[in-house]
Amino acid sequence: MANRNQPSSSLHVLYSEGDVDLLREQAALIESAGYRVETALGRKAVEDALRVKSYDWVVLGPTLSKNDRHHLPYMVKKTRGSTRVLVMHTDGERHPAVDANLDTGASIQDLLAKIAALSGAMAKRATAPH
């Protein structure tokens, strides 16, 4: 049976957490859904990764500090304006530099579904006649 969250193209995702075990576990699940995944442990690693590469999505996981989940989206947009940012563990808070968010308790399947849905919608808008 095909994974309904399977992307139609291989999006490049930078996934960050503050906990190394969760980082490895979640990154493997994201990769198994068909995405190209690189990982960053903590804020500095995200900043360093963005200086050298471009990503379709930067996902800021729940074990990053609230401060990092608040400030990193601004840095992502400043460094790589077209990169989309998804922040986990937001409890409904909206942030001007965040393209998507997931509340506390959301599963990795919720994350994959949100990336797939938003990437598909953005791709359709980009190819629609103007």
The band of 1, judged by pLDDT with boundaries at 50, 70 and 90, is very low
H-helix segments, the chain: 20-32, 43-52, 66-79, 108-127
| Residue 51 confidence (pLDDT) | 94
> Which amino acid belongs to residue 108?
I
Return the CATH number of 12-124, one of 3.40.50.2300, 3.20.20.70, 3.40.640.10, 3.40.50.450: 3.40.50.2300
| Residue 94 confidence (pLDDT) | 75
Per-residue pLDDT reduced to its tens digit, 51-100: 999 999 999 999 999 999 999 999 999 999 899 999 998 776 678 889 99
| Residue 71 confidence (pLDDT) | 94
- 43 contact partners, CB below 8 Å, separation of at least 6: 16, 64, 65, 68, 71, 72
Structure tokens belonging to residue 90:
């937001």
Q: How many residues does the chain have?
A: 130
Stronger pLDDT, 5 or 53, i.e. the higher one: 53
d(CA 122, CA 41): 28
Per-residue pLDDT reduced to its tens digit, 34-57: 999 999 999 999 999 999 999 999
b/e code 35-56 from CB counts within 10 Å (16+ = b): bebebbbbbebbeebbeeeebb
d(CA 40, CA 43): 8
Per-residue pLDDT reduced to its tens digit, 118-130: 887 655 554 445 5
The band of 9, judged by pLDDT with boundaries at 50, 70 and 90, is low
| Residue 129 confidence (pLDDT) | 57
Question: Is the per-residue pLDDT at 8 higher than 50?
Answer: no
| CB-CB contact of 55 with 40 (8 Å) | no
**Owner of token pair 């969760």:** 22
d(CA 42, CA 16): 6
